Every structure is written in structure tokens, then in C-alpha cells.
Amino acid sequence: MKAAQRTAGPAMAMTAVSMVLTLVVIVLWLDPVLPLLVVAVVGAGIDGGWLTTLAYERRLAAQGDRSTPVTVVGWLFGAVATGVLVAHALTEESPAPWLAVSWLPIGAKLLWVVHGLWERTALTPSALGTIQRVQQEARDTAAVARARLRAQAATEETRLTAVTGVGARVARVQAETAGALAQAWSVLESARTGEATGRALASVAAPATAAAPGVAARWELPVWGPTAPVSARPPEKTPATPVAGADTQVTALGPASAAPVPEPPAAPATGVAPMVLDDAAAVAGVATPTPGEPLTEDQLMVVLRYLRHSEDPPLSYRQALAAYRAAGYVGGDARIRLVWTALLAREGTGA
């Protein structure tokens, strides 16, 4: 109620001032030529019409309704009152004072419009309290959602940082392990090919290979390699290295024949007797692979390694696979590829 008085009070005061000014101007205009009673009726008619339309508009607004004709008539009376004040100001020698107040009828009408808008949007204290509670709940929900999102983002960032750090450590350990394996393979290769190793082993064990004429006997470690078997026939009739298969000749590792082995005259006999498939299987601790029968992972590794080093340079995957098929061994390509990859990793090469 107090808020309604605050908005309706200025409109009522401006309306009253406008009506008084309009009546005064009508009296000043018509008093010299018409009786005072007639002049009062004319002035009261303008003010009365304006006041009547205003009261009707207020009644309709209280009922939640409005009438366009009544609104138009009310604005028409307001315009007439403003026109009377402006016309009187223009006929005076000092129009400024009257022009300063000539807008009051239109201003009063606008204030009543503002008051009507306020009434259409006015709410009871309980409704306002409900709206405030709903708005507060919405703000609280939004704040909680923002806090939850920030916490989840921080957690995810921490998790990703930890995963990245662990991945970096794993990669570093893998690199160090690969380096250590490569160094171990290098040491093993140096030990296998070193002259000192052969002499040291020859001093404590019987020689594994027979020496050619003019060459001291030495011990050779078994190796995987593309060396051709030593033939007892002359070099020009040496047969080609056989491909591993069901009919591959097997030669056991051990002391060679006591008969001298002829070597090409241009170089001394320093080659190592090759390791055949049976020996390779024995070293790996698996049964000798048989063509046409399913192979275990270890047997497949032995066959592929034997075929890879059957020639110099070592065979590629496609060449080894072709030799594998030609020898009559069975196995899926995907499985063979996986074992081949493991073989290359074990040998420390990406070839």
C-alpha cells in the first residue's frame, strides 16, 4: 500500500496542478467576453472530462482490464489541456513561465501510465519471498555445479600428470633396459669372436674344431650364423647350404673329425661349424620342430631364427616366411609375424 502511494502520489499532484492551470488560463481567456459562470463551466468541462476518463481507466486497471477508446479520449483531453497552456504562453509577452508548466498535463498522464504498469507487476510479500528463495536456490545450485566441475577438472589434471610421469619413467626404464641388453649382446659377441676366449677355452677343454694344416687348434662357441658347413671335399665342389626341413642333415656339436679339412689357400681356416636345426632346438630346450605339425612358440622361434641366419646377409621377414612355407612348416601369418617381431627384439635389431 505504501509503495502504491509512492507511485500514485506524484501523478495525483501533477494532475491537480494541471487542472488548476488549465482552469486559470480558460478564465484569463474568456472572462473579458463571457460571464464568469460560463467560463468556469468551460474550464471545469475540460478538467472534468480529463478527470472522468482518468477515473474510468483506473477502475478498468483495478479489474485487470483496459479500454482503448477510453485511453484515447483521456490522451485527447490531456492534449487539449497542454495545447491551452502552450497557446496562452505564446500570446504572453513573457512566454517562458507558461511554457515551463505547459507540459504538466502530458507529464501527469505519463505518470499515471507508469503507476498502472507498477500495479500490473506488483506482488505480495509472500510471492516476493518465494521468488527470492527460488532465485537463491538456483544460485546455490549453479555455484555447487561450478565447484564440482572445477574439482573434477583438478582431479583429472592431477591424474593425467601422474600418468604422464609414470609413462615417462617406464619409457626411461625401457630405454635403459634396451641399452643394457644391447651392451650384453655386444659383450657376448666380443667374447665369442675374441682370440683370447678361444685360447682360454682351448687350455681347459678339448678343441671343438679340428685345425687345418698350419693352424693351431682352438675352441669355438656355438653360434647362430650364416656360416656354411665345412665340407671334406675340395672347395670348388662345396654344396650349397641346405634349407631347414624334414630331410635336413643333423650334425651334433662336438669334436670334429680328425682328418685335416682343406681350406682355400688365400685364407686360413677360421670359420665356425654351423649350428643345425637339431642343435638349435637342443640349445633352446625344445623338441626338434617337425614340418607339417603344429609348433609351439619356442619351436617357431627356433625355426625362424635358423632360417633367418641360413644365408648371409640374414633373411628378411618375407624371405624367411617363404623358406618356412617351402620347408613344409605350418602356422598362421599373424602368429609367425608376432614371433618374428619377438626374435628381432631379442636380437636387438629392427631389420
pLDDT tens profile 129-178: 899 999 999 999 999 999 999 999 999 999 999 999 899 999 989 888 98
Does the structure show a pLDDT above 90 at 346?
no
pLDDT of res. 336: 92
d(CA 324, CA 202): 37
pLDDT of res. 180: 86
Q: Which residue has the higher pLDDT, 265 or 156?
A: 156
pLDDT of res. 303: 92
pLDDT of res. 63: 80
pTM of the model: 0.35
pLDDT of res. 151: 94
Kindly report the backbone phi and psi dihedral angles of residue 349, in degrees, each rounded to the nearest multiple of 5, phi listed first.
-140, 150
* 30 DSSP assignment: H
Which residues are within 8 A (CB) of 10 and not within 5 positions of it... i.e. 6 or more apart?
Answer: 111
pLDDT of res. 3: 58
Peptide bond into 313 cis (omega under 30): yes
Joined grid coordinates for residue 259: 682328418
d(CA 224, CA 264): 23
Does the structure show a pLDDT above 70 at 195?
no
